[in-house]
Structure formats: structure tokens, C-alpha cells
Amino acid sequence: MKGIPRLRFWSNGICSEISPRPSMQTFEIRTIPGRCYFFEIRICSPKDFRVIAAGDIWFRAVHSQQELAKLYSMAEDYCSSTQTSRFFYFYRTKPKSYFNTCMEKDDAIMKVYTKDESGHSASPLNSKLDGLFFYAKLNYNGTFPEMSPFGDTRWFIRAENLFNPEKHRLYFADFYCKFLSKDYCIKLSSI
């Protein structure tokens, strides 16, 4: 199809136009991980500039493999330079009604759900990974946090029951800062 391409993309309400050369097959858009973008292409008639073909898409920029490798390196550096506590339990904190529903209506099974945008908004796992999400976070003195924004009831599982290197694979997923703490997101799966 012969025509004049017109390319535009939006981020944070700001529109940018790309003027492609006739020989251009690909182009690069610099994005910020976690930010949403809208991209449109219009092919206009060279005679009267009316649109003869069009397409558009919304997308959210996620971390590239190189950016994830950098986060992994930062997480390793942080772990090697910071005193960490040994932990023996993973836990979930939810409202008491959540656990009551699990026991009374769901045969004592916690239902999996899709990972939300918590953590870093550019994590490639956001809105793509189904599972259950646990914490292993301890206070500096080795005790569990007293309060949680996630609920009033805490359920514990021994760490070796949930993570056994002979039965499970461990994948790095994210490393992000929340005020004073540093949080890691890892993915476990059966071998």
C-alpha cells in the first residue's frame, strides 16, 4: 500500500510525532518502565492526505531483560552488603473473613489470583502471573511486623514446605524500594 505514514505516540498526555523516512522499516521509542503509552499509525493518501489505513495500540512498558539483570545485580549487591535475618516461615496477611471463606466455602484452599501492580509497576509479571503471594519479611530484631495493610490475620507456613530447592525452582522477578525497606519478588515453581 503506497501512502504517507504518520506515527504518533502519547505518554502522560503528551503527544510526540515520528517522521519516518521512506526506507525506514523499524524505529525505536524510548520508554520509561511502568509507564503506559498509546501508539497510532495512520497511512494517508499522497493525493489528498485522507486516511487510507489506520491502527493503534495501548501498551505498558516493562523491564527489559537487561534491566531485570541490572535489578538482579542490585539485589545481590544489597544482600551481600546488608545484614539479613534467617527466616523459617513464609506468611500471608489477609482480613479474617478471607481465611474464614477459604475454610467454609473453598475446602480450605486459598484460590490463586493474578499478580497486581504492587511492587514495581514495570515488572513483567504484573497482570500475567497467577499464584499466591507470601511474605518472609522480618523486623530488624527478627520478629514479624506487628501490623499489615493487607489485613488483621496472619497465616504461616514453614519455609521448607513452600521452598525446597530439590522440589522447586526459584526465579528472580523484582527488586524495589518501599520507604526504608527493600523488597524482593521471587517466583517459585515445581520442578
Together in a domain, 30 and 43: yes
**Residue 13 lies in domain:** 4-60
How many domains, in total, are found in the chain? 2
Which span out of 137-141, 149-153, 170-174, 183-187 was modeled with the highest average pLDDT? 149-153
Check whether residue 8 and residue 90 sit in a common domain: no
Whether 181 and 168 share a structural domain = yes
Q: Are residues 78 and 36 in the same domain?
A: no
Beta partners for residue 168, in sequence order: 190
Same domain, 52 and 138: no
pLDDT of 60 reads 85
Contact between 5 and 22 under an 8 Å Cβ cutoff? The reply is no
| For residues 22-31, average pLDDT | 78
- Do 38 and 92 fall into the same domain? no
How do residues 168-177 score in pLDDT, each as one tens digit?
877 777 776 7
pLDDT digits (tens, 9 = 90+) for 64-108: 888 888 888 888 888 888 777 788 999 999 999 999 999 999 999
Q: pLDDT > 70: what percent of the chain?
A: 91
Mean pLDDT of all residues in 108-137: 82
Is the pLDDT reported for residue 182 higher than 70? no
Q: Which three cell numbers stand for residue 142?
A: 527478627
What are 63-74's pLDDT values in tens digits? Answer: 888 888 888 888
Distance (Å, rounded) from C-alpha 110 to C-alpha 102? 6
Mark 52-75 as b/e (b = at least 16 C-beta within 10 Å). Answer: eeeeeeeebbbbeeeebeebeeeb
Task: With CA atoms as reference, report the closest residue to 78 among 185, 176, 179.
Answer: 176
pLDDT bucket at 187, cuts 50 / 70 / 90: low
Which one of 60, 83, 101 terminates a domain?
60
Kindly list the distances between the CA atom of residue 78 and the CA atoms of 22, 121, 181, in Å, as whole numbers in the listed order.
48, 21, 11
pLDDT score for 179: 58
C-alpha grid cell, residue 26: 523499524
